[in-house]
Amino acid sequence: MKKLILLIALPVFIVGCGSTDGLQEFDPTGLNEELEKVSFQPQLPTELPFEVKQADLSRPPELQQPVNTLNFDFYGEGNEHLSLLTVNGSEVSSTSEEDYQEVEIDHISGGYFINDSGDQTLRWQEGDIQYVLKSMDQGSESDVSKADLIKMAESFE
């Protein structure tokens, strides 16, 4: 009887401890090593709304983008794609301020926007670094919610 209870309880315990609120753990160590070679080190997420199969860092050419800008792309097995733009020392402007809904990210004011295609944008600023997180849902096997994006932003370290 004890073995039966253990066999039932163990998988429940493992699944329960594997992730928080539907997010998957992400180890940014590889990206952090690449960041040591650039002029600023933004924080990175430790949880994402899907399991990451590939994470990339890219920088636009300095002639096109004179400010310190880094782009991160996170890809999942089910065609999921999240893009993170980080800008140091300058503001990012795209959609008008009225289109953004005010949200709170760990006591920091941020903005959330969803366009007609269903793509979502979450943006906030910490210190001199502005973060713009975009979820592209076309063809994705998982639904990323506004709450998922906020929880992901709260996992940044």
pTM, entire model: 0.78
Mean pLDDT of the chain, nearest integer: 80
Helix (H, G, I), strand (E, B) or coil at 4: helix
Of the given ranges (27-36, 99-108, 111-120), which has the lowest mean pLDDT? Answer: 27-36
Instruction: Kindly report, residue by residue over 11-62, the tens digit of the pLDDT.
Output: 333 333 444 467 889 888 888 888 887 878 999 999 999 999 999 999 876 6
Pick from 36-40, 80-84, 95-99, 149-153: least confident = 95-99
First to last CA, the chain: 44
Which 3 state secondary structure label does DSSP give 23? Answer: strand
Q: Do 18 and 62 meet the contact criterion of CB atoms below 8 Å apart? A: no
Q: Is the dihedral of CA 79, 77, 24, 42 positive or negative?
A: negative
Half-sphere exposure of 153 (CA within 13 A, CB side): 32
Burial of 50 (0-12, 13-18, 19+ CB in 10 A): buried
Rounded CA-CA distance 88/126 in Å is 10
